[in-house]
Structure 1
């Protein structure tokens, strides 16, 4: 399949019609015309001359490759249309001014020139459609133009041609604005890389990079693809991937993402994925695809528009003929009214009610590092009433953390460090992190012996010490104070590490899974955004789960949940509410799949991107409430747009009853609605100063 950029594609219905015609060509079965991104995907075997002819018939064309990948489309089409409209409008105003001084035939001739300049493309397309009995916007406008001319309303016909041309221009401009915002987002991909080959540096296109290649990334340059740092130290801006503006420090051995920017210093990076397989490439591909998925609302509008246009033509015929034939009405008056009904019937605003808002919503979230795989999922996000969370790695960091220390002897942490310094156990790492924070100096223990299921016994300065769980102090009879502390910490849900010598307990370390710094604020933000209930699903026991739930503000929690039990719980919740599941995209995959909406955290991991409907590219939940607000706002905008589009048409049609509807009012009502819904939809791209996440 080959991909071509299109220009002049401003009508969703036209795009669908073009696709239908291309599919009828030999080898054209798999062709796809993508209206939102203005692209054509087509088999290379298709006769491109015939394709270009089909496109030309609808005023579209293929953009010739200019070699400038950053900005491959051109704007000649829009510029030409604008110039023609200016000339046509100027000529119309001049004709009105001269009408008292020139003969009627000259006045009509000038009006014809003005109509031809601004409306010839619409007229040609409409005439072809009329011959084929294919009724769309162009057909309606052509019939209206022919009718106005037939009854001698030259001035009105000229206004119709100019205003419809302006409407078409503004409609295309609105869609182009949404497309450009998406294109700007997609331009974060680097174009070239400095490859180190046999000690020599050479510049190569990123498409030529292979797994295992070594590249040099200087300050200010983009990292060409996912890799690992071999040499150097620098801060890296990962906003293209995560949406986070704060730089991340990178050292030898740390992973880096393609598309992120090296802020200072020089990094030597070993490529771990060809660019086509990199996180950024997958994100850009999914964002492009997301533009073209149809939401239930869009599908309904498209079905409605299919029957709406013929219905309008029937109403127009009734308005034209019933009053003169049966109610003694004036033929010219009611034919005029019928033509106005045709113009009111243009479904431009209705069809644009949804797609611009969806592209804007997807783009806005993508800027924030939130990957929405389609408009249908963004629409669904705005309808969510309950969000279920996995605990470990989602609300918590999934890493053991020293939360509390009970000290009976001053040097007990020093002893703990001496014994645990050589261990790779997660609890030992948590203790060593605490020791480092406290700045404690220690020496390594001797004769270290690990006792399975209990802990470690070691010698320090010929003195035996024990570290581990309660089983390591069976040789001691703990004091009442120590036992009370042990019971209290266990009751609070802590994992205990007890340090003792041969006679007494020296201290107790209470370890828990560290709660993410932002979790409480996120849960509060979700409730503020309209989420009715937040639910935590965890495999931990009740006390630990209650401690986390109380700390972060989750309303409901379920404990001792195996993966299959999480699935059943999600199904149960779905019986009454629309449910989203948030997890890490790996062990929560079944629950993510069964929920109405699966949201994965992953910071670019393949499994997260593949599993969920929405991916939070950050390593936290900080931007989830804002994503929900954007989705809810998008849904409100679409409903509002539909109401305005249909409401203005109903009002205009009601004006036919007293005979007040004019061609001017009709075209202004249609154009006004189109401009209005376009501007309202584009407002989604304008972000109020959002609170920057610092997590």
Structure 2
């Protein structure tokens, strides 16, 4: 068991310690009390160890997009997370601004205001702080299209290179994983669709993609059937007295019908200097026809078309795992206008409008309940299996299901800003980010394909020139090499597995921000947990009141006065308890935050303090036997708040937090999945840490930590050889989250900041899905390795079998398309993987 040293007097956060290869997350900030006239809703920690409270940032105020106007900016000049906090504070003080969110990781700022004119003042306000703003203007000429027919990564290059040569197209990005294309263009939508069609694929505006998708798959099936019938007719005719010319015509028709699409794609691939499977296959078929192997050529075409159709269908199923998220939220909602209900498309519903959701219906937009009570099934968003009770004032999310009572909901997010919309956007972005393994495979394929292509030409030409074999035999072997030259199965082995895993995670309330993080999660060997709000409920309660030199009413009244303006969990527990007892606060002024020790205020002309034992030792207040009592209470897992003056101790308040049952189950699940080092990081004292560790099942803890000490704890674990995942709330403990190999945030459904800062987000506000995240990631890594080895072995076997004349052209096709199909089906197992825990 390791511990950090006692807290230092200086509580400043070492931001530079978090500047590593990962982007730093939001860090905890400490504000000071001012006067009673302008109270700041902060309080310092009062535990023995120093500042153990989680910070006050109210998630409901984090960019809730409840204003009529919004703008996005790039902020230049930020060099640490503290800059983001400084800018937020300054902008938030502007009367016209309702919400602001500055994200240091991305260098961007989101602002919402009631009046668009407020945006004109922003550059001057931020400029005074030493930063510059650049507004991000939405380009109306940038559109997203759904692309049908892409069955391997080389198709992406063909489409991109072709469109880049089209006049009016400024920028194009094709994403194989999602089947989407983003184009900035000045020409018409119809022209873009036509150009994509020329390249052998089908495009449609993303919103219309699903309807056309089914049609395309059916069309491909008809082509394969017709080509197969002609091939079979020619094969049967070859065993009859049919003329050889007639049989060859049947084979030629089979080639034309089945291979037309591939030949067209091959043509544009050659124009775009891309050596893809269609080029190699078309070359092989033309070569077979030249040497009179019409049956071989037709067989190759039909097998290739069949394989492509099956691959496309399989890949579309993995893409549908994300597209199905779009269907979670209904397209229309009942809006309450006066006493009437009017059905409106969700796109036409504004902030603050009230919608009515009947029992059994899906909630169409994010909002707050203003009338009614019900239980809501949040599984589509958070993955929680048990419905959550909702009352007036509670937040609800689009796509969740209202199970019982009727609810009236005030809309707080436009359709494009809802939690489900953000999930879809993040998941689609994640699927397009290449994992290290995928990037390596792509580099390997770019080298492998031209080498084998050159080798095929050499096999065709050199031996006959040297008098070793006939031109016909060597030409045929060269064609076989051409078919084997494209590593389709190898290239597709990683992205399909990643898409499937990310899709599975999204359906279970887990957002994995890319293949790189999926791979890291699969290698995690130690998990570090922030205590408050992660392992514990984060809602401590007053467990004991010890009276010393005052009545209970006087003690609690003074405590209420000192802690009333704080939103820290410990202070809030004291305030809630005192208010339940209906005790009035004393009149206070001159509030001060004594960093790392406590707070003070002047009450009745005398200065009172609430803080930890360290504070009163420095004040030299007579303690008598108080130290022993405090130590005993701390050993029982309590956080202690002492209330008194410089002359006397009024009493002691003991506050304790409770362990989340879901956290205990999650830790057991992680251990079952092979992660055995469970570490708790806390600013609380040794006794509290020991108690929580024993109840939660963590194997190791670091107590009495300042935020910078948590960074040291993470680095110590890494120096011991562990791959460390840090789990927090996505807002606090940023240095530790940034230092860890993997940052995991909880409660992503409730805060935009968590979605932007973490590598993996658990949408529910608990650890229930963490074991499934690790299990899914490890399974994905195993499947990726299986796919890569299988692809390489098949290619090697095909290459070896060419020279003993054991491999035919159609067998080479089966080895390629068949291997690709097996790899896809193997990856799709991840879609059906269920949680064991």
TM-score (norm 1): 0.85
Is the contact made by 1:5 and 1:38 (CA closer than 8 Å) also made in structure 2?
Answer: yes
Using a 3 Å threshold, how does the CA distance of structure 1 residues 650 and 433 change in structure 2: closer, same or farther? Answer: same
Q: Give the Cα separation in 1 of the matches to 2:635 and 2:237.
A: 94
Which of 729, 732, 754 is 1:584 aligned to?
Answer: 729
Using a 3 Å threshold, how does the CA distance of structure 1 residues 201 and 14 change in structure 2: closer, same or farther? Answer: same
> What is the SS of the residue equivalent to 1:336?
helix
Between 1 and 2, higher relative CO (CA 8 Å, sep ≥ 6) is seen in: 2
> What is the SS of the residue equivalent to 1:515?
coil
Is the contact made by 1:224 and 1:259 (CA closer than 8 Å) also made in structure 2?
Answer: yes
Which of 58, 75, 80 is 2:199 aligned to?
Answer: 58
Give 2:448's aligned residue: 308
Is the contact made by 1:402 and 1:512 (CA closer than 8 Å) also made in structure 2?
Answer: yes
1:241-256 to 2 correspondence within 5 Å? 241-256=381-396
1:295-374 to 2 correspondence within 5 Å? 295-326=435-466, 328-374=468-514
Give 1:37's aligned residue: 178
Q: Give the Cα separation in 2 of the matches to 1:555 and 1:626.
A: 20
Deviates more, 1:658-667 or 1:229-238: 658-667
Which of 126, 130, 141 is 2:266 aligned to?
Answer: 126
Q: Give the Cα separation in 2 of the matches to 1:216 and 1:519.
A: 35
Give 2:293's aligned residue: 153
1:629-640 to 2 correspondence within 5 Å? 629-640=775-786
1:79-98 to 2 correspondence within 5 Å? 79-98=218-237
Which of 553, 557, 563 is 2:701 aligned to?
Answer: 557
Q: Give the Cα separation in 1 of the matches to 2:249 and 2:518.
A: 52
Using a 3 Å threshold, how does the CA distance of structure 1 residues 193 and 443 change in structure 2: closer, same or farther? Answer: closer
Deviations 1:190-212 (A, max 9, x none): 31222223443212222222222
Shift of 1:371: 1.1
Q: Give the Cα separation in 1 of the matches to 2:368 and 2:269.
A: 58
Deviates more, 1:320-329 or 1:330-339: 320-329
Q: Give the Cα separation in 2 of the matches to 1:476 and 1:129.
A: 84
Give 2:122's aligned residue: none
Deviates more, 1:253-262 or 1:176-185: 253-262
Query: Is 1:78 the counterpart of 2:182 in the alignment?
Result: no
Give 2:668's aligned residue: 524
| Runs of 5+ consecutive residues of structure 2 not aligned to the other structure | 1-141, 547-551, 592-597, 601-609, 644-650
Shift of 1:160: 0.5
> What is the SS of the residue equivalent to 2:342?
strand
Shift of 1:314: 1.4
Is the contact made by 2:162 and 2:268 (CA closer than 8 Å) also made in structure 1?
Answer: no
RMSD, aligned α-carbons: 3.7
Deviations 1:274-331 (A, max 9, x none): 2322322212211122221111222222222222221111121232234434363233
Q: Give the Cα separation in 2 of the matches to 1:486 and 1:115.
A: 87
Shift of 1:530: 2.7
Is the contact made by 2:170 and 2:185 (CA closer than 8 Å) also made in structure 1?
Answer: no
> What is the SS of the residue equivalent to 1:36?
coil
Is the contact made by 1:592 and 1:611 (CA closer than 8 Å) also made in structure 2?
Answer: no
Using a 3 Å threshold, how does the CA distance of structure 1 residues 118 and 387 change in structure 2: closer, same or farther? Answer: same
Q: Give the Cα separation in 2 of the matches to 1:7 and 1:367.
A: 24
Query: Is 1:219 the counterpart of 2:359 in the alignment?
Result: yes
Give 1:463's aligned residue: none
Give 2:277's aligned residue: 137
> What is the SS of the residue equivalent to 2:727?
strand
> What is the SS of the residue equivalent to 2:538?
strand
Q: Give the Cα separation in 2 of the matches to 1:321 and 1:25.
A: 38
> What is the SS of the residue equivalent to 2:385?
coil
Give 1:289's aligned residue: 429
Using a 3 Å threshold, how does the CA distance of structure 1 residues 232 and 564 change in structure 2: closer, same or farther? Answer: same
Is the contact made by 1:127 and 1:142 (CA closer than 8 Å) also made in structure 2?
Answer: no
Is the contact made by 1:418 and 1:443 (CA closer than 8 Å) also made in structure 2?
Answer: no
Is the contact made by 1:222 and 1:258 (CA closer than 8 Å) also made in structure 2?
Answer: yes
Which of 678, 684, 687 is 1:534 aligned to?
Answer: 678
Shift of 1:362: 0.7
Using a 3 Å threshold, how does the CA distance of structure 1 residues 325 and 253 change in structure 2: closer, same or farther? Answer: same
1:497-508 to 2 correspondence within 5 Å? none
Using a 3 Å threshold, how does the CA distance of structure 1 residues 92 and 359 change in structure 2: closer, same or farther? Answer: same
Using a 3 Å threshold, how does the CA distance of structure 1 residues 447 and 358 change in structure 2: closer, same or farther? Answer: closer
Q: Give the Cα separation in 1 of the matches to 2:754 and 2:469.
A: 68
Q: Give the Cα separation in 1 of the matches to 2:168 and 2:521.
A: 38
Is the contact made by 1:193 and 1:224 (CA closer than 8 Å) also made in structure 2?
Answer: yes
Q: Give the Cα separation in 1 of the matches to 2:538 and 2:330.
A: 34
> What is the SS of the residue equivalent to 1:343?
helix
1:570-649 to 2 correspondence within 5 Å? 570-575=714-719, 576-604=721-749, 605-649=751-795
Which of 307, 314, 322 is 1:182 aligned to?
Answer: 322
Is the contact made by 1:25 and 1:46 (CA closer than 8 Å) also made in structure 2?
Answer: no
Is the contact made by 2:363 and 2:402 (CA closer than 8 Å) also made in structure 1?
Answer: yes
1:432-471 to 2 correspondence within 5 Å? none
